[in-house]
């Protein structure tokens, strides 16, 4: 047997003055990092640790610490420790490196280089605790004139929706938590490409169902048990390739909902094999509208890529009521590492450009713009609305609210938080009653913060924030970046 | 309404609780023949051992009788006059009653043996007995105990703890003949012997000398400082018989615990109880039964009509670090399953789909569910028991038990009581 | 009133038992001190059966068989309906263990008495197990188990 050249990624520290040998860390770690013998001897198998912190959070005496494994290489700004480890792994496995969640690389975050305005003296601030603040948002085709028939719209009381996360990538308890929270907060959740499980059908009125390239679970029943249908062309984490649910996550429940065999890889092809041109997309949109009697908005979701403006324009002209754009920080349950980390463009750029282009072409009212991929907090929401989005999708933030620690091993299905797994025992760890409460709390908190920021700007309705570049100033940005975003620099 | 209770032990306390759960106004009078208050009889061996003081023997306190407004008269009842509705006491007083409960308990059986009347020969049944025995204890001297039933073994434990050399003489071929199977009795015997208790099975005493020497049937003579007679008990039925009530092995009652006189009830060690498993009416002198019977008799005396479906034998006892718990019917045959690990053992007798009896030594954890299965006659196939006996635990209890528990939790409660 | 355990959300982590033990016998909820200095005993067992687990709590029955069977009167029901043990009077005969159909009551570590759930009646607030369950599997309910 040859020696593995891999060292552990994390170091597990145990404070012996605090450890009471209760064994909770042992029984809670699916990766079997902790061991306890009958005679009270405790040790760790550190190479199994993925840094999810389940043990540290549940330890009743806070005896555990998780740190990066202290193995320093000679300083090398070019060959980072991670780049070396990735080669060691490939040398041992011969395989494509898989990963989960979103792009962690230190590319520039434009959110962190945009500042918001506030009122001073003129156009006074509004106190959200004293005055009504309108966050209600309608998504869909707003181009109908007064004398024409109204097009179907989605009504949101907060411009934040839960992003597409399929049953299979996440557990049913995650979907139940988000569905309940969506209903409570009057917004929407998205089934992702895994179909709609029976136990969440009752949330039809706040569900967006996805039709992806694998067409998993798509049937007339599926389309009609929804408030809107979203055709997924791509997602920010893996533009240009299809979805991939590893066989170990295709449990019987997942198989039944997707209408595929259990325990075999569920691959969605890269393109929809019936969409090879923009006209084909128009045809699918029309077909879905006919199948749902024109009662529901049809959305199209794409990844933010190089010609996103032209693509978005085409999508709107093809009849989509909502265009959802997923930036390169978008997360996933499983994707090749290189694809996730190197493909796509920032959502701030994409939204700013698409919004401007659609306005220039005079078709902006025909479709709402939804931004996805890397919304971390309410300030990011306000900024992306100001850059032109009508609403946002949150994926990572929602899962973090449910307990995710971004260990990026979702693709294994061994999620200690019961989130990115379909294993029945692990799924129990997310009690949907608690999950729903946490998701609701997150949205409530953000809602209040958004109102505070808007009030500070002297705005009392989200319509006045939408696309309002004057509310943003760039800081530390090059001129061409400012131009692309359509904002002026701080101080100017 | 005047309630009178003869006896102030377990059944009497239960009866006070039963009466007062329906009738807060009626007068309750208790005739306390032992004149010691309501104490728990099983605790007298602890008094003898020295591990409990007088203050620790009570079953219900004086405060209990005060707050339930039950008057306790320290006197013995000598005669019941049912037509007149009166009880005559040994001090000459006459007590009138509307409803009477006989909770007179039982007394030790005294065999006919030469020398049985000597002052060193004692029974261990009352508080007074324990005090008198304690006065005779001499460290290092020998105590001979006739009978290896529960009382005999508790007496042995107490006297051993007081530093005496203990010899038990048992007529049958095994100890605890009415409680244990031969297999379990062997395990229990080994434990006792390891603790230093000498046991002679298959023998009985034929005479006791003035100095306390016990002569056995095979000629052996044991010089004893003290002899305890623990060969069984008999219900105290004389009051009932003389009053013309129907009696058999014990006072005969219906399923409402009423005697042949409609104004007289009876409960506890003095009555015949319906044995659910054998179908027979027999004396089942067990504390939990006495309390329940007293309680239900009290309810019925207060005007309710609560049926007592009967009982099964059940016993839990602890000697010198060994816990024996056994429930069910000892005299029926069936398939026997056995398990042993270290000092723990479990023996089960199964007939068809029904568990008839179990004996658990140093394995208390699963006895509660097993008692419920025996008592409620939950149907479980033999093959499930064969699976269970490989490693007895709560988790490995058969599915039918868990289904029954779920039913109870949903619908609230057990069937009996 | 009793603690109900939901096998749907019980993770079998055992935190409930840790906090239960520390809430009794004078440790006053101090988990670290209880387990470092003493041998605290949880009052209820976790049952793991067929991929499900749950805490085997006391049902605080309406007509409790354990109170009926207790040889010394140590087992009692207080005016909140809580079935508790006056441990001074308990002699460890295990008659109560024998008659509890749920198998809840357990011998103490030294086997000279028994312990059971008392709904943390000597502590302030809700029972420790309910308070510290990380997944909402335990709840305090008003339903009563009747005999």
pLDDT digit string, tens, across residues C55-84: 999 999 888 999 999 999 999 999 999 999
Residue contact C14–A428, C-beta within 8 A: no
pLDDT bucket at C143, cuts 50 / 70 / 90 = low
Tell me the average pLDDT of chain B: 95
Of C45, C65, C91, nearest to B46 by CB-CB distance is C91
Q: In angstroms, what separates the C-alpha of B70 from chain C's closest C-alpha?
A: 18
Q: What percent of chain A has pLDDT over 70?
A: 100
> Among B157, B154, B188, which residue's Cα sits nearest to residue B347?
B188
- What ranges do the domains of chain C cover? 2-141
Residue among C3, C8, C57, C73 with most chain B CBs within 10 A, to mutate: C73
Contact assignment for C107 to B60 by CB distance below 8 Å: no
Best of A15, A20, A424 to substitute, by most chain C Cβ atoms within 10 angstroms, is A20
Kindly give, in sequence order, each residue whose CB lies less than 8 Å from that of residue C95, ignoring residues fewer than 6 positions away: B287, B288, B316, C69, C70, C71
Query: In DSSP terms, which residues pair with A12 in a beta bridge?
Result: A66
DSSP output for B194-247? HTT-EEEES--EEEE-TT-EEEETTS-EEE-SEEEE-S-EEE--HHHHHTT--B
pTM: 0.91
Residue B416 has pLDDT above 50, yes or no: no
Chain A contacts in chain C segment 114-133 (CB below 8 A): 132
Give CA–CA dist A242/A239, Å, rounded. 8
DSSP output for A280-349: HHHHHHHHHHHHTTT-S-EEEEEE--TTHHHHHHHHHHTT-SEEEEE-TT---SSEEHHHHHHSS--HHH
Q: Which residues contact A188 (CB under 8 A, 6 or more apart)?
A: A154, A156, A161, A162, A182, A206, A207, A208, A227, A228
List the single residue in B with minimal CA-CA distance to C100: B368
CATH number of A10-95: 3.30.70.20
Are residues C95 and B288, on separate chains, in Cβ contact within 8 Å? Answer: yes
Top-tier CATH class for B121-229: alpha beta
Considering only alpha carbons, which residue of chain A is nearest residue C135? A431
* Vertex C139: Cα angle to C46 and A402 (nearest 5): 90
C63 contact residues in B (CB cutoff 8 A) = 417
- Rounded average pLDDT over B24-42: 96
User: Which residues in chain C are closer than 8 Å to A24, comparing Cβ atoms?
Assistant: 13-15, 18
DSSP designation for B407: H
CATH 2.60.40.420 describes domain B2-107+233-301: no
CB contact under 8 A, A22 and C19: no
Q: What dotted CATH number matches C2-141? A: 3.30.70.20
Domain positions in chain B: 2-107+233-301, 121-229, 321-411
- The pLDDT value recorded for residue B415 is 35
Q: B255-275 pLDDT, tens per residue?
A: 999 999 999 999 999 999 999
Q: Which of C8, C13, C51 lies nearest to residue A24, judging by beta carbons?
A: C13
- How many whole angstroms separate alpha carbon B213 and alpha carbon B221? 6
Q: Tokens in use for A27?
A: 């029984």
Alpha helices in B264-321 (DSSP H): 287-301
Considering only CB atoms, C134 lies closest to which of A17, A23, A58, namely A58
Domains B2-107+233-301 and B121-229 share a fold: yes
Does C7 contact chain B (CB < 8 Å)? no
What 3-state DSSP class applies to C115? Answer: strand
CA angle, residues B219, B222, B223, in degrees to nearest 5: 135
Q: Which of C61, C101, C146 is facing B368, going by the closest CB pair?
A: C101
Q: Quick check: C74 contacting B, CB < 8 Å?
A: no
Q: Is the Cβ pair C104, B371 closer than 8 Å?
A: no
Which chains lie within 8 Å of chain A at 3 or more CB pairs, if any? C
For chain A, the average pLDDT equals 95
- Specify the CATH superfamily of domain B321-411: FAD/NAD-linked reductase, C-terminal dimerisation domain (3.30.390.30)
B55/B3 Cα distance (integer angstroms): 28
Residue range A330-380, pLDDT digits in tens: 999 999 999 999 999 999 999 999 999 999 999 999 999 999 999 999 999
Residues on chain C touching B59 (C-beta within 8 angstroms): 72-73
Q: Is B56 on the interface with C (CB under 8 A)?
A: yes
Q: Do C14 and A433 touch (CB under 8 A)?
A: no
Q: What CATH number does domain A111-489 carry, 3.20.20.70, 3.40.50.970, 3.30.9.10, 2.60.40.10?
A: 3.20.20.70
Going by C-beta distance under 8 Å and a sequence separation of 6 or more, which residues neighbour residue A307?
A: none
Query: Cβ separation of C135 and A24 shorter than 8 Å?
Result: no
Contact between C89 and B56 using a beta-carbon 8 Å cutoff: yes
Two structure tokens written together for A407: 């260990």
Let me know if chains A and B touch, i.e. at least 3 Cβ pairs under 8 angstroms: no
C62 and B317 in contact by Cβ < 8 A?
no
Q: Considering only the beta carbons, identify the residue of C45, C65, C93 that sits closest to B316.
A: C93
Partners of B321 on chain C (C-beta within 8 Å) are 111
> Which positions ≥6 away from C122 have C-beta within 8 Å?
C24
Assess C38–A contact: CB distance below 8 Å, yes or no: no
Here the ipTM equals 0.95
B96-109 pLDDT, tens per residue?
A: 999 999 999 999 99
Give buried/exposed letters for B379-390 (b at 16+ CB in 10 A, else e).
ebebebbeebbe
Taking contacts as CB-CB distances below 8 angstroms, the residues of chain C near A429 are 11, 135
Query: What would the mean pLDDT of B304-313 be, rounded to a whole number?
Result: 96
How do the pLDDT tens digits run along chain A, 492 residues long?
788 889 999 999 999 999 999 999 999 999 999 999 999 999 999 999 999 999 999 999 999 999 999 999 999 999 999 999 999 999 999 999 999 999 999 999 999 999 999 999 888 899 999 999 999 999 999 998 877 888 999 999 999 999 999 999 999 999 999 999 999 999 999 999 999 999 999 999 999 999 999 888 888 889 998 999 999 999 999 998 888 888 888 999 999 998 899 999 888 888 899 999 999 999 999 999 999 999 999 999 999 999 999 999 999 999 999 999 999 999 999 999 999 999 999 999 999 999 999 999 999 999 999 999 999 999 999 999 999 999 999 999 999 999 999 999 999 999 999 999 999 999 999 999 999 999 999 999 999 999 999 999 999 999 999 999 999 999 999 999 999 999 999 998
């Amino acid at each position: 047997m040859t020696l593995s050249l891999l060292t552990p990624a994390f170091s597990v520290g145990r404070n012996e003055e605090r450890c009471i040998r209760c064994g909770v860390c042992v029984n809670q770690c699916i990766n079997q990092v902790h061991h306890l013998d009958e005679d009270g001897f405790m040790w760790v198998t550190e190479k199994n640790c993925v840094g999810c912190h389940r043990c540290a959070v549940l330890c009743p005496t806070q005896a555990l610490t998780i740190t990066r494994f202290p193995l320093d290489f000679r300083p090398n700004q070019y060959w980072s420790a991670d780049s070396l480890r990735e080669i060691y792994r490939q040398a041992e496995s011969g395989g494509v490196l898989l990963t989960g969640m979103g792009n962690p690389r230190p590319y520039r975050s434009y959110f962190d280089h945009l500042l918001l305005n506030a009122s001073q003296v003129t156009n006074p601030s509004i106190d959200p605790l004293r005055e009504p603040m309108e966050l209600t948002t309608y998504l869909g085709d707003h181009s109908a004139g007064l004398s024409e028939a109204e097009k179907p719209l989605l009504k949101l009381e907060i411009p934040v929706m839960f992003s597409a996360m399929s049953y299979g990538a996440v557990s049913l308890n995650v979907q139940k938590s988000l569905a309940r929270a969506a209903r409570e907060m009057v917004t929407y959740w998205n089934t992702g490409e895994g179909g709609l499980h029976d136990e969440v059908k009752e949330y039809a009125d706040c569900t967006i169902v996805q039709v992806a390239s694998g067409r998993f679970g798509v049937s007339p029943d599926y389309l009609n048990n929804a408030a809107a249908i979203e055709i997924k062309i791509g997602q920010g984490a893996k533009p240009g390739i299809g979805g991939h649910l590893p066989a170990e996550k295709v449990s019987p429940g997942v198989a039944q909902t997707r209408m595929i065999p259990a325990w075999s890889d569920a691959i969605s092809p890269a393109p929809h094999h019936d969409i090879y041109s923009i006209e084909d997309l128009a045809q699918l949109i029309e077909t879905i509208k006919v199948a749902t009697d024109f009662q529901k908005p049809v959305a199209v979701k794409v990844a933010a890529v190089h010609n996103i403006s032209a693509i978005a324009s085409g999508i709107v002209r093809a009849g989509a009521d909502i265009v959802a754009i997923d930036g390169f920080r978008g997360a996933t349950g499983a994707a090749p590492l290189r694809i996730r980390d190197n493909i796509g463009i920032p959502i701030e750029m994409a939204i700013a450009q698409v919004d401007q282009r659609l306005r220039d072409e005079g078709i902006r009212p025909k479709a709402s713009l939804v931004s996805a991929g890397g919304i971390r907090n309410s300030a990011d929401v306000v900024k992306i609305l100001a850059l032109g989005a009508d609403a946002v999708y949150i994926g990572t933030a929602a899962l973090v609210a449910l307990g995710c620690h971004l260990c990026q091993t979702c693709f294994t299905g061994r999620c200690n938080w019961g989130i990115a797994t379909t294993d029945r025992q692990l799924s129990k760890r997310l009690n949907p009653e608690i999950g729903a409460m946490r998701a609701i709390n997150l949205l409530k908190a953000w809602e209040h913060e958004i109102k505070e920021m808007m009030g500070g700007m002297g705005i009392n309705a989200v319509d006045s924030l939408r696309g309002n570049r004057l509310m943003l100033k760039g800081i530390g940005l090059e001129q061409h970046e400012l131009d692309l975003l359509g904002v002026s620099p701080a101080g100017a | 309404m005047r309630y009178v209770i003869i006896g102030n032990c377990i059944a009497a306390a239960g009866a006070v609780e039963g009466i007062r759960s329906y009738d807060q106004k009626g007068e309750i009078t208790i005739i306390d023949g032992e004149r010691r208050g309501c104490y728990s009889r099983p605790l007298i061996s602890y008094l003898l051992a020295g591990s409990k003081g007088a203050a620790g023997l009570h079953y219900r306190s004086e405060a209990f009788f005060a707050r339930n407004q039950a008057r306790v008269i320290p006197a013995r009842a000598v005669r019941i006059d049912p037509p007149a509705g009166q009880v005559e006491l040994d001090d000459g007083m006459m007590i009138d009653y509307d409803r009477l409960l006989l909770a007179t308990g039982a007394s030790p059986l005294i065999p006919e043996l030469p020398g049985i009347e000597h002052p060193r020969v004692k029974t261990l049944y009352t508080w007074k007995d324990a005090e008198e025995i304690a006065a005779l204890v001499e460290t290092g001297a020998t105590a001979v105990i006739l009978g290896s039933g529960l009382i005999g073994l508790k007496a042995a434990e107490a006297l051993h703890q007081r530093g005496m050399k203990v010899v038990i003489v048992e007529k049958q071929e095994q100890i605890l003949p009415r409680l244990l199977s031969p297999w379990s009795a062997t395990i229990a015997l080994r434990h006792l012997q390891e603790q230093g208790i000498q046991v002679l099975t298959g023998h009985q005493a034929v005479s006791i000398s003035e100095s306390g020497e016990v002569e056995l049937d095979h000629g052996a003579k044991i010089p004893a400082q003290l002899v305890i007679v623990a060969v069984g008990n008999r219900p105290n039925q004389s009051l009932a018989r003389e009053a013309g009530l129907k009696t058999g092995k014990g006072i005969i009652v219906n399923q409402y615990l009423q005697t042949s006189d409609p104004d007289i009830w009876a409960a506890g060690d003095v009555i015949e109880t319906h044995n659910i498993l054998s179908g027979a009416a027999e004396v089942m002198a067990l504390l939990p039964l006495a309390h329940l019977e007293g309680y239900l008799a009290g309810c019925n005396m207060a005007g309710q009509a609560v049926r007592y479906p009967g009982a099964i034998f059940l016993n839990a006892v602890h000697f010198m670090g060994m816990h024996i718990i056994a429930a069910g019917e000892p005299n029926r045959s069936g398939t026997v399953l056995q398990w042993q690990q270290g000092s723990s053992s479990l023996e089960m007798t199964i007939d068809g789909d029904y568990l008839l009896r179990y004996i658990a030594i140093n394995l208390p954890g699963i006895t509660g569910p097993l008692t419920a299965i025996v008592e409620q006659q939950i149907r479980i196939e033999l093959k499930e028991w064969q699976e269970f006996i490989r490693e007895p635990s709560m988790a490995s209890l058969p599915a039918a038990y868990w289904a029954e528990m779920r039913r109870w939790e949903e619908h609230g409660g057990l069937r009996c009581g | 009133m009793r603690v109900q355990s939901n096998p749907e959300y019980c993770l079998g982590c055992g935190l409930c038992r840790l906090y239960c033990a520390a809430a009794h016998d004078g440790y006053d909820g101090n988990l670290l001190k209880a387990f470092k200095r003493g041998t605290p005993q949880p009052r209820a067992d976790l049952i793991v059966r067929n991929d499900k687990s749950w805490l085997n709590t006391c049902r605080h029955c309406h007509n409790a068989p354990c109170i009926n069977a207790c040889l010394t009167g140590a087992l009692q029901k207080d005016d909140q309906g809580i079935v508790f043990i006056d441990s001074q009077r308990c002699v460890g005969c295990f008659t109560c263990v024998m008659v509890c159909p749920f198998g809840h009551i357990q011998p103490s570590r030294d086997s000279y008495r028994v312990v059971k759930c008392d709904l943390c009646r000597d502590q302030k607030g809700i029972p420790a197990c309910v308070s510290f369950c990380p997944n909402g599997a335990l709840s305090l309910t008003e339903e009563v188990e009747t005999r």
